[in-house]
Amino acid sequence: MTDDENAAMDLIQQHGMGALAEKMGIEIVEFTRERAVGTMPVEGNTQPFGLVHGGAYVVLGESLGSVHATLLAGPGRYAVGIDINATHTASVTSGTVTGVCTPIHVSRSLAVHEIVITDDRGRRNSTIRITNMLRDVR
């Protein structure tokens, strides 16, 4: 891992992914400059019919996209989400879903990521795109 990646992982380990991500059981399993990978259990994150709630997919996607954008922003900078959209293409009722977050575009002021969420069988369940504004810490 690079110094930036180590610093970002230290920050995540120190402060966690946030209270909501913690309640949902989101865990980071890989974190490099090239991508962030996280998992989320289906259990506890479903809508009344037992399917993963669409909002749960979005929380996983935004969590991964925002922390990865903060890594790419560099020291003394952070990311703020300004746009997110999601397309849900398959249902899942058990197991774990995995989000793979990769940057599409990164500049001094913006980072755009795609997050592909799949189930335990490798089926794509949701595709999310998030745009983060990159800001300096004051």
pLDDT at 101: 98
- pLDDT of 33 strictly over 80: yes
Residue 5 C-alpha from the chain's centroid: 16
As a dihedral over the C-alpha atoms of residue 59, residue 64, residue 68, residue 69, rounded to 10 degrees, the angle is -20
Q: What is the pLDDT of residues 55-90, one digit of tens each?
A: 999 999 999 999 999 999 998 999 999 999 999 999
Domain with 28, as residue range(s), is 3-136
pLDDT at 4: 65
- Report the alpha-carbon distance of residue 38 to residue 34 in Å, rounded: 14
pLDDT at 124: 98
pLDDT at 8: 65
pLDDT at 112: 98
In this prediction, what percent of the chain has a pLDDT beyond 90?
A: 84
- pLDDT of 52 strictly over 90: yes
Identify which of 111, 104, 103, 101 has the alpha carbon closest to the alpha carbon of residue 133.
Answer: 111
Just list the catalytic residues. 62
Q: How many structural domains comprise the chain?
A: 1
pLDDT at 114: 98
- pLDDT of 11 strictly over 90: no
Identify which of 41, 94, 44, 38 has the alpha carbon closest to the alpha carbon of residue 62.
Answer: 38
- pLDDT of 15 strictly over 90: no
Domain with 97 in it: what CATH number? 3.10.129.10
Average pLDDT of the chain, as a whole number: 93
Q: What is this structure's pTM?
A: 0.92
- pLDDT of 5 strictly over 90: no
